[in-house]
Each structure stands twice: as C-alpha cells, then as structure tokens.
C-alpha cells in the first residue's frame, strides 16, 4: 500500500500542472498526444529545474510524491513531464487508429530521446507555468530522470542507455526486458558494453502474469532478474525491490518515493560510470585453472577518449607508421593530416585528397586506394607517388611485412559482388574472393596466419587461412557483429588487431572487440556516434585512433598495444576453443 509520502500532507504546498496537445512531430509523424507538465511550488525560474519524464504519464502518484519530497529537500526542485505514447488516426476516424506505444517505448534506438530533446522539451519551454513563470529545464544529464512501467519501464532505460549525455537516472517498474522489440538483447549488450554513467532502480514481482498473457515474448519476471544481474556484472549503480505482485503499478507506486530518494541521493554530485567485470574491458581475474582466455583487459583506469584538436573538417581513413605517427584523411577539407609523436597535428602533403583508404607499408611508404581512378599508389614523405596497381576500385588496404597488400573492393557490379585482392610487388594481383556484400575492413592476425574481412552491409565478417604464398583458403563466416536496432547491417569500417590477437572493428555501435573465436566480447561506444576508421598509433602503438560520424578523430590510450600489419610476425598467446 502507498505510504504517507504518496498521500497529500498537511502543510505541504502543492504543485500545479497544465496540459497541452502535441500533434506535429518529425520523429513520430502523424502522432497526437496530450502532455501533462507538473511544476512544484518551489520553482522560481531563477535557475533551470531538474527534469523527470514519466512515460505513459505521471503515474505512481508522482505529483504528490514530488510535493512531499521536494518540500523536505529529499530531492531537488523538479519539473515532471508526463508523456503518453502517440496515436495516429486512420483516414476514417475514429476507426482503427495506429497505436504507437510499443514502437516508441519498446524500441532499442534513439528515436524517443530525439523526440524528447528536439521536440517535447522545446515545446514545454515555450510555455509558462500556471503562475506565469517561464519554464527553464536543465540541460545537465545529471539533472534528468525518467521512469515508467512495463513498456514505459524499458523505454525509460533506453532513454539513458542511448543518450547518457542527456539522461542518467532511471526508474523501471515491471520492465519489458523481453523479446517484444529486442528488449531481451539488453542483458547481453549491457555486459559487453563499456559502462555508462547511469543509475537505475528496478521493480518487479514474482507473479508478473504478463508472462502467461504474452508468453511468446518471454518471461517478464526472469527478464528483469537477468537484467539486474547484467547491470551488477557491468558495475552499474543499481538498486531493486522484488515482490510477489502481478503486472501492475501497485507495488511500484508504493516504493516510488524510496526509488526517487535513491535515484537522487547525493545530488548534485554527478552519476558516474562503474567498473565492469567484463574481462575484455577491465581485466578481471580468470576463474581457477582457466586456460585459453584473454584476461588482460583493454582499458586503462581513468583513460577515456578525447577528440584530436585541429582545423580539419572531417576524419575518415586512418593509418599509423613505424614511429607511431598517424595519418588520416580529411575529405571535407580536401587534405590529409599527420599526428606526430609529439601529439601535434600537421598537414601531410605526401598524400593528395583523392583517396579512399590508406595503409603504411614496411618500406615506410603510404599506400592509398582511390575508388575514383581505380588506382593504388605508394606515396613517399617527399610527395613522390608511384603506381602500385590499377584496375581495382579499392577501399580498405593492409600491407604485410613482406610488402604484399590485401585490398577490399566493395562493389564491382549489381548485388553482392564485392571482391578481395592480393597485390604483390610489381602490381601482380590475384583475386582472392568475390560475391561479398560490400567488403570493407581488412586485417591480418599478428602472426600473419589469418586474414579477416568485414562485410559492411550484413552482420558478418569472414576469416581466411593465409597460405605460404599469400593466398587464402578455408573461408568461413566467422565474425558476428552486434547490430543496432535502427540498422539492418553493421556498417563495419576499418579493422585492426592488437598483440594478443583481439580484433577491433569500427561499426555503427562504436568499436566492437572480438576474441580469436570470432565473438564480440566488448563494445566501446565513441563520442562521435558511428565509427569508421581505426588505427593503433603513438610511440608505443597503444593509442587507439577512431574516426567518427561527427567528422572528428578521437584517441584513447589502451592497456594493450596494437600489432601493425607491416611489422614482423609475432607469436600469439596460447588459445583454445573455449
């Protein structure tokens, strides 16, 4: 039963609310909904207020709870926005409308966050409070929370998961972490992904009967427990209350005040990311007698990604030379740039603007592919260019210790017709494979024994055994990418490997890291959204450079150095089929 914090109390001033209809949206076109805005009596418009978004409206007696908790200074002054899902009328209203609730709240994508940030919040701030004050909503992610039940519960989590730069506090009750629109994937993604700065309070009951009503989608009770274990494994600040209730809001309403206190505890201190037990990320100790696993995590404590400063307009293909210098393409500025050992960025005149991919070779030359001219050239530091091969509309390229190049050619006709080439000295070329679906990234294992090729228009990558003559054998669909909800493919770009044989892939979800058995074990989100180019550089080759969709280049120092493909082959640690 709800306690006194959920009931009106004598002497506690009551907030006021107002409503408005939102019937114009670019994110969810055609939808109509009535939004409720609660404004506490303590709001003065002297500074931006914290924000709580209630999906499916302001349930759980939220306005009364906020009145009581704000009055006692147990949570900050907070404006609450009750957001119902949208409805699209048919051409013959009121017959057969389209209900958008599952689409908007169950989906594992950023549409709901974009709707709130770009459309709902500005509409709220264009209005005034019932007392005539302007509405100022904080833009600090630590000042924003979201909550909801069932489909609204997973939607609240998705807001923070997709946009931790905008939402960091989540209340999820009887959350739909099941196979409605992919919510059952969340526990795996949480375990694999570098922890995000999010604090979560969960609720569910062991008699959640929706499992029987929509059992084909999964088990709500077990799904929430599985999600909790994943969050704990990944080091999140997470609290939960389990009960024996059904799929209703009664239990959630009773605990809502305590959930709000916990979510806002120590405010205004920021919510921070925890440390995952993912061995690939943090280097957790192996289980007793374990062999054939990599437990030297790739991340260094306190080392995050940072943008590379400079006047470049974009960042595309990236490669590193023998001294760790990094060269990258600036297609927007029609230039190439180099980052020296001193970390400073300079114009790299040795390479023209007309190229697609680039790689260093063991001779110190920069090999560039040009899809427009179907040529591959070798470029010296003094600007001298020599033709290496022609007749190949190459994209990504990798050059091995012996000077042979492996090149992907995304399309040579209609349909899945991409090819992979081997080019040796003198331009002698050999077609290694064809019929691939837009092949992109290409990498050699540090011992030179295996070739990896990504397909950007599927969720697969291939492994080939490298023969003694440089040819390939025994092709296998080996690497399986994680793919975001809003995409049909990985969008894979460059691939690189580290000295322990891990493979790093630039993808739509950031940098995905594979073990030597072809499994994604870690995901590193990048500030710039989708990742395109990758290279290990720096004096110790332990700085990962990533080019992103926001046209910036980012760098991050890692624990494990990369293995330049042009370097001498090295012996890899023992590995098993585990």
Model confidence pLDDT, tens digit, residues 320-338: 999 999 999 998 888 899 9
Query: For 4-263, CATH number?
Result: 3.40.50.1820
**Which pLDDT value is given to residue 292?**
43
Average pLDDT, the chain: 94
Which of 311-315, 554-558, 574-578 shows the lowest mean pLDDT across its residues? Answer: 574-578
For residue 294, pLDDT beyond 80: no
**Which pLDDT value is given to residue 28?**
97
Cβ-based neighbours of 306, under 8 Å, separated by 6 or more: 554, 555, 556
**Which pLDDT value is given to residue 297?**
87
Predicted confidence band at 545 (pLDDT cuts at 50, 70, 90)?
Answer: very high
Domain borders along the chain are: 4-263, 310-557
Cα 191 to Cα 19, 178, 186, 227, 240, distances in angstroms: 40, 16, 9, 10, 18
What average pLDDT does this structure show over 5-27? Answer: 97
Distance (Å, rounded) from C-alpha 80 to C-alpha 15? 10
**Which pLDDT value is given to residue 169?**
98
Q: What is the DSSP secondary structure assignment for residue 32, as one 8-state letter?
A: B
What average pLDDT does this structure show over 195-199? Answer: 97
What average pLDDT does this structure show over 6-20? Answer: 97
For residue 290, pLDDT beyond 70: no
**Residue located via tokens 């670019």:** 26
What average pLDDT does this structure show over 124-130? Answer: 98
For residue 160, pLDDT beyond 60: yes
Triad 311, 315, 320: Cα angle to 5°: 105
Which of 24-38, 106-120, 319-333, 432-446 shows the lowest mean pLDDT across its residues? Answer: 319-333
Cβ pair 409, 418 in contact under 8 A: yes
Predicted confidence band at 383 (pLDDT cuts at 50, 70, 90)?
Answer: confident
Which of 140-144, 422-426, 461-465 shows the lowest mean pLDDT across its residues? Answer: 422-426
Helices marked H in 39-145: 62-71, 101, 111-115, 121-125
Distance (Å, rounded) from C-alpha 538 to C-alpha 214? 53
Share of the chain above pLDDT 90, in %: 86
For residue 349, pLDDT beyond 90: no
The three-state secondary structure class of 324 is: coil
Predicted confidence band at 1 (pLDDT cuts at 50, 70, 90)?
Answer: confident
For residue 284, pLDDT beyond 60: no
Query: Diameter of the chain by CA atoms?
Result: 89
What average pLDDT does this structure show over 253-263? Answer: 98
What average pLDDT does this structure show over 95-111? Answer: 96
Distance (Å, rounded) from C-alpha 448 to C-alpha 400? 8
What average pLDDT does this structure show over 513-527? Answer: 95
**Which pLDDT value is given to residue 58?**
97
**Which pLDDT value is given to residue 302?**
84
Burial (Cβ within 10 Å: 0-12, 13-18, ≥19) of residue 176: buried
Q: What is the dihedral of CA 341, 345, 351, 353, to 10 degrees?
A: 150
For residue 291, pLDDT beyond 50: no
Share of the chain above pLDDT 70, in %: 97
The three-state secondary structure class of 408 is: strand
**Which pLDDT value is given to residue 282?**
81
What average pLDDT does this structure show over 348-370? Answer: 89
Predicted confidence band at 296 (pLDDT cuts at 50, 70, 90)?
Answer: low
Query: For 310-557, CATH number?
Result: 2.120.10.30
**Which pLDDT value is given to residue 343?**
81
Distance (Å, rounded) from C-alpha 538 to C-alpha 547? 16
Distance (Å, rounded) from C-alpha 263 to C-alpha 199? 7
């Amino acid at each position: 039963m709800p306690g006194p914090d959920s009931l009106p109390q004598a002497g506690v001033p009551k907030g006021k609310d107002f409503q408005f209809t939102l019937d114009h949206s670019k994110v969810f076109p055609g939808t109509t909904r009535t939004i409720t805005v609660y404004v506490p009596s303590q709001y003065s418009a002297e500074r931006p207020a914290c924000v709580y978004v209630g999906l499916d409206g302001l349930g759980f007696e939220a306005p009364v709870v906020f009145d009581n908790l704000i009055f006692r200074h147990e949570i900050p002054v907070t404006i609450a926005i009750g957001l119902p899902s949208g409805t699209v009328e048919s051409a013959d209203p009121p017959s057969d409308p389209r209900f958008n609730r599952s689409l908007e709240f169950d989906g594992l994508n950023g549409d709901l966050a974009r709707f709130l940030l770009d459309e709902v919040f500005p509409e709220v701030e264009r209005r005034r409070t019932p007392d005539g004050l302007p509405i100022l909503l904080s833009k600090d992610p630590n000042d924003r929370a979201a909550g909801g039940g069932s489909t609204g519960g997973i939607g609240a989590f998705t807001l923070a998961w997709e946009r931790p730069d905008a939402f960091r506090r989540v209340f999820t009750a009887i959350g739909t972490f099941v196979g409605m629109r992919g919510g059952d994937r969340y526990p795996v993604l949480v375990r694999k992904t570098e922890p995000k700065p999010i604090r979560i309070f969960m609720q569910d009951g062991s008699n959640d009967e929706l499992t029987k009503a929509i059992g084909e989608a999964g088990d709500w009770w077990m799904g929430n427990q599985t999600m909790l274990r994943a969050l704990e494994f990944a080091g999140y600040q997470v609290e939960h209350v389990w009960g024996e209730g059904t799929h209703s809001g009664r239990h959630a309403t009773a605990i809502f005040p305590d959930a709000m206190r916990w979510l806002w505890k120590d405010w205004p201190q920021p919510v921070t990311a925890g440390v995952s037990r993912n061995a690939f990320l943090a280097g957790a100790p192996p289980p007793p007698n374990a062999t054939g696993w990599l437990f030297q995590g790739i991340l260094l404590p306190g080392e995050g990604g940072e943008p590379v400063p400079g006047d470049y307009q974009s960042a595309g293909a990236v490669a590193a030379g023998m001294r760790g210098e990094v060269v990258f393409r600036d297609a927007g500025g029609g230039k190439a740039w180099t980052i020296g050992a001193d970390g400073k960025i300079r114009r790299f005149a040795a390479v023209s603007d007309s190229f697609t991919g680039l790689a260093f070779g063991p001779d110190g030359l920069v090999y560039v592919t040009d899809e427009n001219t179907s040529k591959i050239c070798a470029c010296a530091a003094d600007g001298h260019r020599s033709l290496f091969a022609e007749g190949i509309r190459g994209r990504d390229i990798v050059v091995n210790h012996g000077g042979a190049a492996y090149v992907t050619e995304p399309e040579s006709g209609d349909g899945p017709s991409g090819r992979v080439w081997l080019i040796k000295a003198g331009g002698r070329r050999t077609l290694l494979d064809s019929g691939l679906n837009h092949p992109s990234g290409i990498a050699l294992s540090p011992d030179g024994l295996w070739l990896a090729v990504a397909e950007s228009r599927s969720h697969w990558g291939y492994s080939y055994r490298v023969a003694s003559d440089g040819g390939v054998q025994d092709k296998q669909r080996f690497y399986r990418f994680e793919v975001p909800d809003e995409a049909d493919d990985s969008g894979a770009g460059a691939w690189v490997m580290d000295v322990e044989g891990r493979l790093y892939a630039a993808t739509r979800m950031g940098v995905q890291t594979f073990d030597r058995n072809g499994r994604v074990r870690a995901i590193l989100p990048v500030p710039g959204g989708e990742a395109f180019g990758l290279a290990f550089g720096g004096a110790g080759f332990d700085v990962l450079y990533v080019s992103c969709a926001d046209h910036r280049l980012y760098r991050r120092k890692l624990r494990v150095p990369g293995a330049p493909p042009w370097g001498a082959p090295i012996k890899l640690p023992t590995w098993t089929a585990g």
